[in-house]
């Protein structure tokens, strides 16, 4: 009986995927938004856009921040070259180990 309940609870949980790709252009922000809507955690390598146009990178990150917080997701830096963006229900832990 307990095994059946555990299997049922696993089936009820939505699948969460992780995807990593480079952000080369500001138009790719829409791809990130679509991924978040599909319950995908996105890790973006921002160096390609930063090398191309730092102002466009700033606007892209600001747009992602506004969208992500509006839908109940989370966004954070991962070092100098990456950011992670999560869908609703997934929070990024920012404490010390």
Q: What is the pLDDT of residues 33-67, one digit of tens each?
A: 999 999 999 999 999 999 999 999 999 999 999 99
Please, what is the angle between helix 54-71 and helix 29-37, to 10°? 20
pLDDT at 6: 61
**Does residue 49 or residue 3 have the better pLDDT?**
49
Q: Which is the CATH superfamily of the domain at 18-86?
A: SepF-like protein (3.30.110.150)
Q: Is 72 left (phi over 0), alpha (psi -120 to 50) or beta?
A: left
What is the reported pTM?
0.82
pLDDT at 86: 97
H or E element in which residue 17 lies: strand 17-22
The rounded percent of the chain whose pLDDT value lies above 90 is: 79
Q: Residues with Cβ < 8 Å from 86, sequence gap 6 or more?
A: 36, 41, 42, 68, 73, 74, 75, 92
């Amino acid at each position: 009986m307990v095994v059946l309940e555990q299997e049922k609870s696993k089936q009820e949980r939505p699948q969460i995927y992780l995807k990593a790709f480079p952000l080369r252009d500001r138009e790719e922000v829409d791809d990130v938004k679509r991924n978040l809507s599909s319950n995908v955690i996105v890790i973006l390598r921002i160096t390609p856009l930063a090398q191309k146009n730092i102002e466009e990178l700033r606007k892209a990150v600001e747009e992602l921040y506004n969208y992500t917080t509006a839908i109940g997701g989370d966004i954070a830096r991962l070092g100098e070259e990456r950011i992670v963006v999560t869908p609703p229900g997934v929070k990024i832990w920012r404490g010390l180990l």
